[in-house]
Amino acid sequence: MCIRDRLDAGRGDEIMEMDFIYCPDTRVAAESVVSYYREDPMMDTPTVLGETSVPTLVVVAGADTTVTDLEARMADRVEDDHIEMTVVSGADHMFRDLFLYDAADAATAFIGWN
């Protein structure tokens, strides 16, 4: 039974097996799938950052093949005084290997830790 059929039948909380987000072969409820994949501006980083004044650092993975347009979409947001962005060149979506250290260095500099 597909996700839409489960929701229409009132069985959105029913657990099914599928690849979900970054987890292959996992168990998830149909309602969770729809909640994650629906169009929702509050799950969009540049949109959410436009609603806050909290000092924020956005770390972009330069070789991300999952979220490929974040750097470009952040262009207007980095004009805001409270938002900074850094790009970790070569990093993939999960910041594997030594790229994680580059992200951590950017974060510690942003919050002022020595």
pLDDT at res. 108: 97
Q: Is the pLDDT of residue 114 over 80?
A: no
Upper half-sphere CA count for residue 109 (Cβ side, 13 Å): 11
pLDDT, tens digit, 9 for 90 and up, residues 35-66: 888 888 888 899 999 888 999 999 999 999 98
Which residue from 38, 95, 31 is spatially nearest to 67, judged by alpha carbons? 95
Q: Is the pLDDT of residue 99 over 90?
A: yes
Distance between first and last Cα of the chain:
54
Q: Are 80 and 49 in contact (CB under 8 A)?
A: yes
Sign of the dihedral through C-alpha 18, 43, 88, 100: negative
pLDDT, tens digit, 9 for 90 and up, residues 12-42: 999 999 988 778 899 999 999 888 888 888 8
CA angle 63, 24, 3 (to 5 degrees): 110
